Amino acid sequence: MGKQPLHAKLGHLLRIMTKVRVLLADSHPQVRTQLAARLQREEDIELVAQASNSGQMLRLTLSNPPDVLLIDPVMQDGFGLANLRQIVSRLPALAVVVLTAYVDTALKIELNRMGINQILSKGLASENLIDVIRSMAHTAIST
């Protein structure tokens, strides 16, 4: 096994030093538990908070903005989209990744109007989700 090039070592070190801060918002406890466990396995991702309803999501996001908001906006309290709209208007540079089991045309149009284009299925492989989170965080940081 050969030595790792210096740029690869530095890239790895930089990812660890600059952790992507993620806030997870989903009204389903099992989904939150599974996603949290998966995110916490990544050394360059820090799960800073979890919200079980849209009110918590709004308070937590505005009080300590993460790099990435990972959200299922179809929340049981019925205010997911309305509170997400407030967050996006107050924090326009925030990277938002929607992860949902339910996407219809109306929801997709509403999310696109808010500037949210990362709308993913909950059936997505976790490795792909991690890649999207990293990509969104780095895009948000560089803009």
Q: Considering the chain, what is the average pLDDT of its residues?
A: 89
The confidence score (pLDDT) of residue 40 equals 95
Spatial distance between the Cα atoms of 27 and 137, rounded to a whole number of angstroms: 23
pLDDT tens digits for range 18-72? 899 999 999 999 999 999 999 999 999 999 999 999 999 999 999 999 999 999 9
Residue 82, CA atoms < 13 Å, CB-side half-sphere? 7
The predicted-structure confidence for 72-88, as pLDDT tens digits, reads as follows 999 989 899 999 999 99
Q: What is the Cα–Cα distance from 20 to 47, expressed in whole angstroms?
A: 8
Return d(Cα 72, Cα 105) in angstroms, integer: 16
**Residue 121 predicted with pLDDT over 70:** yes
State residue 62's pLDDT score.
97
Cα–Cα distance for residue pair 109/37, rounded to 1 Å: 31
* Paired sense of beta strands 20-25 and 45-51, if any: parallel
Specify the pTM: 0.85
Structure confidence by residue, pLDDT tens digits, 88-113: 999 999 999 999 998 889 999 999 99
